[in-house]
Structure 1
Amino acid sequence: MDLLQPLWRALVVFRVVTWVFAGFGVWTRWDGIVHPYGAVLQLAVMGVWTAVSSYGYSIRWGRRNTRLAFVDLIVTVGCMYATLWAQPLVDIRAGASVLTSVWAAGPVLALAISRGRDGGLLGAATISVALLSLRGIDNVSKILSNVQLLLVAGLVVGYAATTMRRAGERLRSAIAAESATAERLRLSRSIHDGVLQVLAQVQRRGTAIGGEALELAELAAEQEVALRTLMSPRPAVGEGDRVDLCRLLLPLATTRVEVVVPAGPVLLPAATASELVAAVKEALSNVTKHAGPDARAWVVVEEVGEEVVVSIRDDGIGTTPARLEQARVDGHLGVSQSIRGRITDLGGTVTVHTAPGEGTEWELKV
């Protein structure tokens, strides 16, 4: 689906209709044209280019490739100067019409559609300069209204095209997210009826048997959590370069790590979210290494006003702030660089609460 397609179709109609108007203008002023057959030749060139450009704007290549719009601009300026085949420059500056008339606005609209506001203004400025060079500096007041119309057309159509292009991107993202969610739900039903039940049975039987089967039970439990997280129906939400932090954190859930997130998305710039997730992973890594073999951890995401707060808490053996500082002095940079350094670079703050026997809690604010 291309929301800009109606604009391109309107442009094709505009080129054809304005070429007919230009031909009608030559017919009505036939007796006043110094070289009538020069005007006919000019109209023929305009007609050929109208057919070529209209075909180009009607196919995907011409709409996607902005080079056609720039070539259109060059050819149109050349057709404007081709008025000299029919009328001497002196007559044009004395008031004779430039035979391209409104047809010359075509590339302004084409650039506005393909390149947005800036493209439209560029096209309008180029056509205006060409018109001024033909009319002469003494006739600025006579062409001022034409210049204003060109600039307004380039600005308005460019703004509309940019808005529609962004709307199209959001629509495609929404359709993709809806399709992905529907497929995930379909797969989750199949997996729930088969794989998840088998993994749950293996976990229960392995725990009951004990011994070497206990390790198999733990692996089955981890895979069950991973599959449930993967098949979560939470939609992939994003706006531009902003991503949902919750979708990045949910896959960190295991049998010993629980991830709690808000119902709605928590949107952050992609780079910020990536650094925040890396800090959370480092904190969970510390839980695995230092909190004890039976320690569990919880990751909680909250939005508090303009801040996003991520808490990582465990029920392990804990430590003391002095030991954390000594670890930094001894060259262990996991806390000072991977956690504190990342969040500080984002302009956030890090708070840690820990004590022997009471576990450890990290609070990351950005």
Structure 2
Amino acid sequence: MEERETVDLLQPLWRALVVFRVLTWAFACFGVWTRWDGIVRPSGAVLQMAVMGVWTLISSIGYSRRWGRRNTRLAFVDLAVTVGCMYATLWAQPLLDIRSGASVLTSVWAAGPVLALAISRGRDGGLLGAATISLALLSLRGVDNAAKILSNVQLLLVAGLVVGYAATTMRQAGRRLREAIAAESATAERLRLSRSIHDGVLQVLAQVQRRGTAIGGEAVELARMAAEQEVALRSLMSTRPTVADGDRVDLCGLLLPLATTKVDVVVPAGQVLLPAQTAAELVAAVKEALSNVSKHAGPDARAWVVVEDLDTEVVVSVRDDGVGTTPTRLDQATTEGHLGVSQSIRGRIADLGGTVSVRTAPGEGTEWELKVVTA
């Protein structure tokens, strides 16, 4: 909770609202004092200012606390109390006088809940607050005076829109800042663990691999297992967060875990962002291509997965040094009912609006090139 509070960019808006509430209450009191002689029931005006002062104190305390800022109920209660205070002008002035031009004593103070709802609920909250206050003002002034209060209504609507938009933007910025802080913390911890693993576990595994290969016999199997674990650990150390911006993910973070002792994954230093669904389908196609390498390229075949970011499109190449085949044989496999190539690779990429090309020949391995647009 403490970390979330430190990156709450809405705090300045809440503090400004508290200051606005206090200043506008003082302004309303000053307005009563300047119009004292024109008020029919001065005691009613004093009572109304006292109620407004008490509520200003309560709401200001609430908006200064985390529970008041995070719980929108306070803003809705503020709206209801403010409307009640607007009608409390009837304690001081008859309705006929108000419709004849006498002031509604809440004055600018009535805009407080509009700003509170805009901050807590964004644009829609600001518009709801502005509409509610405007309707209350219209009911007091009367339909015949609608033109006279038009400027007040416009100001309320503009305030709700502008503050609501600003609050939404700042809330999104705060969320992204928290994500960035979390990613930075995770990266720092991963680097610390990587140094520890590199200085200890990886060196031991490399030593076991070398010694096992040199000794021969049953130790060769131990060397092979040590090599696999070394690759798995290095892959884990290089893995990075995949969620980057909303529903866009880092393709590299999804492909790096595919590395094994026989598969090398080469990616750009920076993130390659794609829509989550596009990235998932592209990774599935790469896995199918690697599966074909395992099944058909030969027991000693190695594979390479290479990612290229060309701004408008992403190219993923899956190449192996296996026995290879012929394009005709690939087409024949499809007609025989083997749909791995036609559906799991070509079909997936085609559904994404991308293209697939394959280069292969007997004894020269196979290379798949998968292209998808980045938008």
TM-score by length of 1: 0.93
1:300 aligns with 2:323: no
Which residues of 2 match residues 218-233 of structure 1 at below 5 A? 218-232=224-238
Paired with 1:167 and 1:292, the residues of 2 have a C-alpha distance of: 51
Give me the whole-angstrom Cα distance separating, in 1, the residues matched to 2:216 and 2:145. 97
Contact 2:36 2:42 in 1 (8 A): yes
Residue 174 of structure 2 is aligned to residue 168 of structure 1:
yes
Per the TM alignment, residue 183 of structure 1 is displaced from its structure 2 partner at its CA by 1.5
State which of 259, 268, 274 in structure 2 corresponds to 1:262: 268
Please say if residues 184 and 233 of structure 1, whose CA atoms lie closer than 8 Å, have aligned partners that are also in contact: no
Change (3 A) 1:48 1:334: farther
CA distance in 1, matches of 2:300, 2:99: 91
| Aligned-partner Cα distance in 2 for 1:10–1:310 | 51
**Helix, strand or coil: the match of 2:356?**
strand
1:295, distance to aligned residue in structure 2 (A): 0.7
- Corresponding residue number in structure 1 for 2:41: 35
* 2:239 and 2:253 in contact (8 A); partners too: no
Letter paired with 2:289 = A
Q: Secondary structure of the equivalent of 2:337?
A: coil
1:237-286 per-residue CA deviation (whole Å, 9 max, x = no partner) reads 71222121111111111111111111221111122112211211121112
Matching residue of 1:180:
186
CA contact (8 A) 1:181 1:233 kept: no
1:293: Cα distance to partner? 0.7
Which of the residues 80, 105, 109 maps onto 1:99? 105
Counterpart Cα distance in 2 of 1:300 and 1:87: 79
| 1:12 to 2:9 alignment | no
- SS in structure 2 of the partner of residue 262 of structure 1: coil
Equivalent residue number for residue 339 of structure 1? 345
Q: Percent identical across equivalent pairs?
A: 86
2:147 equivalent among 141, 146, 149: 141
Q: Any unmatched runs of 5+ in structure 2?
A: 1-5
Query: Residue 350 of structure 1 aligns to a residue in which SS?
Result: strand
2:324/2:363 contact within 8 Å kept:
yes
Correspondence for 1:309: 315
Name the residue aligned to 2:131.
125
Deviation digits for residues 196-249 of structure 1 (CA, Å, limit 9, x no counterpart): 000101111121222332222122112112212222386767122212111111
**Counterpart position of 1:78:** 84
**What's the CA shift for 1:194?**
0.5
For the Cα contact (< 8 Å) 2:123–2:168, is it kept in 1?
A: yes
Aligned AA (1:118): D
Say whether the 8 Å CA contact 1:79–1:100 is kept in structure 2. Answer: yes
Structure 1 residues 141-174: Cα deviation after superposition (integer angstroms, max 9, x where no partner):
3222222221222222222212222221222222
Any idea what SS the aligned residue of 1:331 has?
Answer: coil
Q: Secondary structure at the match of 2:148?
A: helix
1:278 aligns with 2:248: no
1:49 pairs, out of 30, 37, 55, with 55
Report the Cα distance in structure 2 between the residues aligned to 1:139 and 1:286, rounded to whole angstroms.
Answer: 79
Kept in 1, the 8 Å contact 2:308–2:315? The answer is: yes
Most deviating of 185-194 and 66-75: 66-75
- The DSSP-based 3-state class of the residue aligned with 1:362 is strand
Report the TM-score, using the length of structure 2 for normalisation: 0.91
Aligned residues of 1:316 and 1:360 also touching (Cα < 8 A): yes
What is the alpha-carbon root mean square deviation over aligned residues? Answer: 1.9
Number of aligned pairs? 366
* Runs of 4+ in structure 1 over 4 Å off: 233-237
SS for the counterpart of 2:324 is: coil
